DNA sequence: CTGTATCCCGTATGATACTG
DNA sequence: CAGTATCATACGGGATACAG
């Protein structure tokens, strides 16, 4: 029996866990890709990008059109509720998105240089799934806020 | 004209941006909920939870069944590719998930005390959308890895 | 068993200055 | 313009000890 499997049996021992659930837990481990093999696994990093401060906004902007580095910086400042993005983070996030194949970077050698960023097909298809997630949040925003209010009210006693 | 709108016009001035794209950019700002009003907005925090180290795994486990605090800690160790979760983070993540209404916490006063965690309908419906995102990553994992390899190879010259 | 309190570290992010 | 380098800061996360 695999090590992980015996770990699961050990983990639930003493609790009254139905065999069906034990099987489901084992299946969860069996498909390691479900939660990612390690922290550099796309299965972990893509959701992390969606959750970080700037990547998603950059993808949303680049879905509208291709923009230059400096233009993108100004557009972030104009569209984000959180203010400006530092030049450093703009470069870092764009590099990571490019590395994962979600956006393209095109350099036009000239003086001054010109660099354009564009979303890729891969990036577009990712945005579709993320939109579905964002739709869920929009729909359930009131429920989440209500739950938070209830939770916070209890702590004030 | 709203402030943000003129900021956008300013941002793209000099670049040859079609009117359609300008309109789309303005629409993006118009719907502030699209990207969230601030960092405590569910629109920002829910994706952040999906991207953090433990929340998603906890939801996946609780979808299989309801478990006690200590059991959950052992199950994370048994199923995660990243090893154990600290007691501190387990409590913090569970509290946040509970506060947002994604899981329920049931206390049974006894000695020793017993606390069970269960996923809610809200949590289940969120997981459906997240599954769709995870499916995308699974499907496109090879493409992403290939893109990374290409990108990294260029830097080695 | 189910937490809370403290201290510590690594990484994401920011501010500023400098370069081709 | 499009970066890079350097230093500074905030926060997620971990280790350990302690409490009801």
**A7/A3 Cα distance (integer angstroms):** 6
**A19/A30 Cα distance (integer angstroms):** 16
Task: Number of A to B CB contacts under 8 A, please give it.
Answer: 223
Residues of B in contact with A151 (CB under 8 A): 98-99
What was the pLDDT predicted at A146? 96
Per-residue pLDDT of chain A (157 residues; tens, 9 = 90+): 567 788 999 999 989 999 999 999 999 987 666 677 888 899 999 999 999 999 999 999 999 999 999 999 999 999 988 889 999 999 999 999 999 999 999 999 888 899 999 999 999 999 999 999 999 999 999 999 999 999 999 876 5
Report whether pLDDT(B33) > 70.
no
What was the pLDDT predicted at B34? 65
Q: A118 φ, ψ to 5°? A: -140, 150
What was the pLDDT predicted at A45? 94
Q: Distance, in angstroms, between B47 CA and closest chain A CA? A: 5
Digit-coded pLDDT (tens) for B56-115:
999 999 999 999 999 999 999 999 988 899 999 999 999 999 999 999 999 998 888 999
Phi-psi region of A108 (alpha: psi -120 to 50; beta: other; left: phi over 0): beta
Dihedral sign for Cα A131, A147, B80, A40, please: positive
- Kindly determine whether residue A64 and residue B11, on different chains, have CB atoms separated by under 8 Å: no
pTM (2 decimals)? Answer: 0.94
Q: Which residues contact B100 (CB under 8 A, 6 or more apart)?
A: A144, A147, A148, B42, B45, B46, B49, B122
B81 versus B44: the higher-pLDDT residue is B44
């Amino acid at each position: 029996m695999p090590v992980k499997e015996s770990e699961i049996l050990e983990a639930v021992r003493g609790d009254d866990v139905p065999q069906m659930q034990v099987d489901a837990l084992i299946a969860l481990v069996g498909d390691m890709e479900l939660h990612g093999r390690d922290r550099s696994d796309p299965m972990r990093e893509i959701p992390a990008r969606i959750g970080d401060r700037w990547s998603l906004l950059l993808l949303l902007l680049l879905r509208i059109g291709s923009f230059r580095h400096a233009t993108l910086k100004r557009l972030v400042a104009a569209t984000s509720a959180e203010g400006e993005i530092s030049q450093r983070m703009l470069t870092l996030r764009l590099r990571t998105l490019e590395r994962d194949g979600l956006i393209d970077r095109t350099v036009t050698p000239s003086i001054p240089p010109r660099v354009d960023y564009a979303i890729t097909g891969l990036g577009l298809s990712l945005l579709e799934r993320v939109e579905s997630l964002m739709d869920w949040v929009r729909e359930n925003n009131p429920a989440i806020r209500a739950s938070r209010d209830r939770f916070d009210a209890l702590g004030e006693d």
